[in-house]
Structure 1
Amino acid sequence: MKALWNSAIGLLLVNGTLLGLTLPFGKMAAAAGVPPAVWAFVISCGAGAVLLSALLMHGGGFRLNQHRLRYFTIVAAVSYAIPNLLLFAAIPHLGVGFSGIMFTISPLFTLAFSLMLRLQRPNLLGTAGIGVGFLGALLVALTRGEASQPAEPIWVAAGLLIPVSLAIGNVYRTLDWPEGSGPIQLAAGSHLSAAVMLLVAAMAGTGGAPFAPLVQVPWLVVAQVIVSSAMFAVFFRLQAVGGPVYLSQIGYVAAAIGLVSGMFFLGESYRPETWLGAVLISIGLVMTTRAQLRQAA
């Protein structure tokens, strides 16, 4: 377990798999009538509460200061509340597999933002990789989700905003990581902050009893809380070990899980252009990764 905690590739595979499971869980929740803001709240509130309890039980501190409050608020918005709202609203329209592909675009946006902020040095191979990846993303977007029921353009646009928001969060967490803060502490604080935002959104966006549909899927709620708690503990550790661009590659593992679960368990199917676009995105990632390795050598 200690070796896994210090292994970037091991953390990447575990984190990506757990993230991938969130996609079919979200589609099943939507089918049960759970509003997107409520399901996103379940994830952040459950993960935040479990992680904070674990931190306190093991004697960990949770001191607040101005820096950490700023960090929690910004990370909560751009890494959790906004992308999860978009994700769970879009999944019923785009499909689990297509939504998963949106995560694969995050590394390209992350690298592009890193270059803009001079966190990474530009080179020809990396720039070409971003171009190839974005070409693939455009091709995927034009297919508009499942082959049998193309989504409205507004839902495709919502899907594309997911990797943009995630990339902003990837870069911000590296730039503003509070000194002396551990990954569990940051995960707990950020998720509890996101839970407050999502609670307000859930109460404002739906009338009556927005949490009532959760009673119909208690096992799904428990499974999601367990998965998200483990995922975000590993997520912040991967941020510290691998850095923002490496972290953003969890989307490739998550997309694979999403495509497999969507096709084999939820009956989804996708056009050849969607698969071609996913291949181009993967080629773009390989190019940008090699460019980074050359710079680090």
Structure 2
Amino acid sequence: MALSNTIATHSPKRVWLAPLIYLLSGGALLGLSTNLAKFAGEMQLSALAFLFWSITGAALILLAVSALRGHLPPISLRSVEYYSVSALLGVAGSNLIFFSAIPHVGAGFVALIITLPPLLTYIGALLLKIEKFQFIRAAGVMSALLGAITLAANKLSSPDANHLWILIALAGPVLLAIGNIYRTLRWPAGVSSGALAPGMLIAAVVILLGIGFLPGFSLRVPTQHHLPIMLIALQALVFAGQFFLLFLLQKSGGPVFLSLLGSVGAVVGVPVAIFLQGEAAPEGLLLGIVLIGAGIFLLNIGKANPLHRNDKIKNNPTKINQT
């Protein structure tokens, strides 16, 4: 789908609807992904092995789709840099942290802290002058940060808390936020989202393969039964859809709107973890949800400065005119 045509000829309602559909669909897949990672741990499938083989499957799926559409990932110094950094921040690094932390802190807690990237992304956008300061949006950031602090503090104070893994898990949203901004600022000129997604996943496969050779890590998959392989296949499909939608949303909605994937993911992931996987609801869940929800609401009713955004588009029109 050519976003340039969408923006140029479709009504404002149509332009607004497409990013919303990408957001809801991608967020639902993200919430499902965190719970699949917990199932993988229960099957004695290591976080690295589960992530590596799932990402490999997703990369092959998107590469095949890209080839059929005639949009293979380009190979150049700029594109390889883009694939590598995006993969490290948004795929290999962040997901390895989340998947490794889930057995120690729970899928519900991980699904909740994935709501943090919109706030961290907004702070980064202010510092890099992608957006101008607005009181309403800043208030939203503060509210949601208080919600996240409430959840983290309650988690840290519980008698059986694994403090190290809680802190490690909190590093994941930071990587995601940095990745959101990086992908927007460094989007290669003239390259479609359909080509960038498989390129990023292929780079992630290479990174994870390298980690697999380090002491203490393994890419081995249990073969006593078929469930681990079936779970990997399902996660590969989820990842393929998730990262394809991520690039479509990045192009049409921008980095801050993109970060709301985590919030939608939490709406799906937390109830699944509680009601289907039998996890206890995180302490301070209600207050945390209220504060984070209020923050996201304020962040979205406060609009980014339109003149500033138009200047960015005018200076780099390829950020809009991609497929």
TM class, shorter-length? over 0.9
**Is 2:23 aligned against 1:12?**
yes
1:103 aligns with 2:114: yes
Identity of aligned residues (%): 32
- In structure 2, the partner of 1:210 is 219
> For residues 58 and 150 of structure 2, what CA distance do their matches in structure 1 show?
35
1:165 alignment partner in structure 2: 175
Q: 1:237 aligns with which of 241, 245, 248?
A: 248
Q: Which residue of 2 aligns with 1:187?
A: 197
Where 1:142 maps in the other structure, the secondary structure is helix
* Residue equivalent to 1:46: 57
1:291 maps to 2:302: yes
Structure 2 vs 1, CA of residues 101 and 146 (structure 1 numbering), >3 Å: closer, same or farther? farther
Amino acid at match of 1:280: L
Instruction: Report deviation, 1:292.
Output: 2.1
Establish whether residue 201 from structure 1 lines up as the match of residue 211 from structure 2.
Answer: yes
The aligned counterpart of 2:10 is: none
8 A Cα contact 1:94 1:145, kept in partner: no
Question: How much does 1:94 deviate?
Answer: 1.2
Q: Does 1:156 align with 2:162?
A: no
- 2: CA distance, partners of 1:146 / 1:264: 24
Measure, in 1, the Cα distance between the counterparts of 2:27 and 2:100: 21
Partner residue in 1 for 2:7: none
Q: RMSD of the TM alignment (CA)?
A: 2.3
Equivalent-residue separation in structure 1 for 2:297 and 2:91 (angstroms): 27
Partners of 2:72 and 2:234 lie apart in 1 by 28
Deviation of 1:229 after TM superposition, in Å, equals 0.8
Matched positions, count: 294
Supply the distance in 1 between the matched residues of 2:157 and 2:48 (Cα, whole angstroms): 23
Deviations 1:178-212 (A, max 9, x none): 011111211101111011111111232446x6323
Q: 1:5 touches 1:11 (CA, 8 Å); kept in 2?
A: no
**Residues of 1 paired with 2:67 and 2:17: CA distance?**
23
Q: Is the 8 A contact 1:123 1:291 kept in 2?
A: yes
Q: 1:51 to 1:263 in 2, by over 3 A?
A: same
Classify the secondary structure of the residue corresponding to 1:245: helix
Report if the CA contact (8 A) 2:74-2:195 is conserved. Answer: no
For 1:197, the aligned partner's letter is I
Q: Which amino acid aligns with 1:213?
A: P
Q: Which runs of 4+ in 1 moved over 4 A?
A: 1-6
C-alpha distance in structure 2 between counterparts of 1:74 and 1:210, whole Å? 22
TM-score (normalised: structure 1): 0.92
Determine the structure 2 residue equivalent to 1:87.
Answer: 98
Deviations 1:16-71 (A, max 9, x none): 01111101100011111112111221232111111111111232233211110110
Give SS of 2:303's match.
helix
Once residues 188 and 59 of structure 2 are traced to their aligned partners in structure 1, the CA distance between those partners, rounded to angstroms, is 18
Quote how far apart the aligned CAs of 1:275 are.
Answer: 2.5
The amino acid that maps onto 1:180 is: G
Q: Which residue of 2 is the match for residue 70 of structure 1?
A: 81
Q: Give the superposition deviation at 1:6.
A: 6.9
> Match of 2:189, SS?
coil
Separation in structure 1 between the aligned mates of residue 67 and residue 144 of structure 2, nearest angstrom: 43
Cα distance change, pair 61–285 in 1 and its aligned pair in 2 (3 A): same
In the alignment, which residue of structure 2 is the partner of 1:55?
Answer: 66
Ranges in structure 2 where 5+ consecutive residues have no aligned partner: 3-13, 308-323
1:120, 1:95 → 2: CA distance?
35
2:301 is paired with a residue whose SS is helix
